[in-house]
Amino acid sequence: MSTIAHLINGELVQQAGRSTPVFNPSLGKPVREVPLADQDIIRAAIASAKAAFPAWRKTPPAKRAQVMFRFKQLLEANRDKIAQLISEEHGKTLEDAVGELQRGIENVEYACGVPELLKGEYNRNVGPNIDSWSDFQPLGVVAGITPFNFPAMIPMWMFGVAIAVGNTFVLKPSERDPSVPVRLAELMLEAGAPNGVLNVVHGDKTAVDAILTHPLVHAVSFVGSSDIAHYVYQTGAANHKRVQAMGGAKNHGIVLPDADMDQVIKDLSGAAYGSAGERCMALPVVVPVGKKTADELRERMVAEIPTMRVGVSTDAGAHYGPVVTAQHRDRIAGWIEKGVQEGAELVVDGRDFSLQGHEKGYFIGPSLFDHVKPGMSSYQEEIFGPVLQIVRAETFEEALALPSNHQYGNGVAIFTQNGRAARDFAARVNVGMVGINVPIPVPVAYHTFGGWKRSAFGDINQHGMEGVRFWTKTKTVTARWPDSELEHADSSFVIPTMR
């Protein structure tokens, strides 16, 4: 069984000591080993990034953009092989893996425009012979800590813009599917990034804490569960770092009586069960308004679920594959049992699903609950699996209040043909990202991604122009050039003004 290496200063680095197996979820068996970094490994990666920073920050933005262009081309040339790696270690279908990679490539495309993104502001004659300008400058060594569910896309959300604007980067990906992040770093080197600009280290809490407390790391971006996001935010901020920490979600889909139910069922099937529900922007809660709407939705979903095909990640006909680990499969099953104990009606039970020939794989079938109540813990907490919960509402206002009052505020969708209702909902709902007849409203690369409430800690979003601001600091210069050496201003003991 092969061992995955760290990538530090342009070299693959093996490490003795602690390690953990990497599983193929479709087979239910380990396929690789990944080392768990100690503090020495983390310090070496940070030192490598520190050494690379002075030259990289001085590299003209146009030349950094050329590296990103070549990186984009290499990603496209290696698309199929990268997708296979994603599927092998994560379990998502190849089609889904290709889609994930494409969203990552779109963020790299955005970073290719870095010369334009870094253009500052300039004003001439803000005072007598005084000009003022501001520009964006890189922070230095920065870091990203990324989750298992998007091993390609989320790292590129982070390091694409961070490196393009002149920082050097230390990436700590999930130890559950670590091969793809290493491959991305190798392609960055092939694209022309100097050694040390992008380093990849594997590990658990020991590695995370070493990053969060190291004085040379100036900013940290994180995506994961809310409890850990809160910890990352608090620890990083206490150690004087800029932090953006994206947490969990419990996204709602509001279905008004006038919605196109054919489209709603298709959208719910993909948004609730796609990628086995292992998406922070999945749609695990549907809120039909009115009994007639709820009864029809339930009947249609009960008929739709048997048509879903659960299969191995390489099955071109599968709608979704296994979940990432046996422990996570058991956790999902535990939440289903909790929902039953709390009094929700389990309409479809996916816990007994088994895939012939792959009985050891981490598969779980689609489940459907009805009559879920807001006070239930299975509603309040993130299940992160192929489970859809129906929470019935009598009125529009009641439906609006459910996502607005929930502890998470990542995404929400409304399905309706009424533009006035959709406009009112989008303006009033207390959630960070809203879809109108769009079930998974993940913003495109040139907009920004970020939730509210316990879905995000920190006040700057990921990627887009918010990402540029997160990975840079603004410097403002005010300069005076007198017309001649004889021109002098009188001494002033009051605050200067431009009047």
> 123 Cβ partners below 8 Å, 6+ apart?
131, 132, 133
Euclidean distance between CA atoms 44 and 487, whole angstroms = 54
Euclidean distance between CA atoms 297 and 381, whole angstroms = 23
Question: Residue 453 has which token pair?
Answer: 């409430």
Euclidean distance between CA atoms 227 and 358, whole angstroms = 34
Question: Residue 278 has which token pair?
Answer: 């292992």
Question: Residue 392 has which token pair?
Answer: 């019935």
Q: What angle do CA 309, 97, 221 make, to 5 degrees?
A: 130
- Strand 252-255: give its sheet, edge to edge: 345-348, 367-370, 387-390, 285-288, 252-255, 411-415, 433-436
Q: Which DSSP letter does residue 142 get?
A: E
Euclidean distance between CA atoms 10 and 44, whole angstroms = 12
**Number of DSSP helices (H) and strands (E) in the chain, helices first:** 16, 23
Q: Is the dihedral of CA 285, 288, 294, 300 positive or negative?
A: negative
Q: Dmax of the chain from CA atoms?
A: 91
DSSP string across 182-218: HHHHHHHHHHTPPTTSEEE---SHHHHHHHHH-TTEE
Catalytic residues: 280
Q: Which DSSP letter does residue 489 get?
A: P
For helices 61-77 and 179-191, angle between their N-to-C axes, nearest 10 degrees: 130
Which one, of 189, 171, 170, 190, lies nearest residue 181 by Cα? 171
Which one, of 205, 156, 210, 223, lies nearest residue 185 by Cα? 156
List of E strands, 190-309: 198-200, 217-223, 242-246, 252-255, 285-288
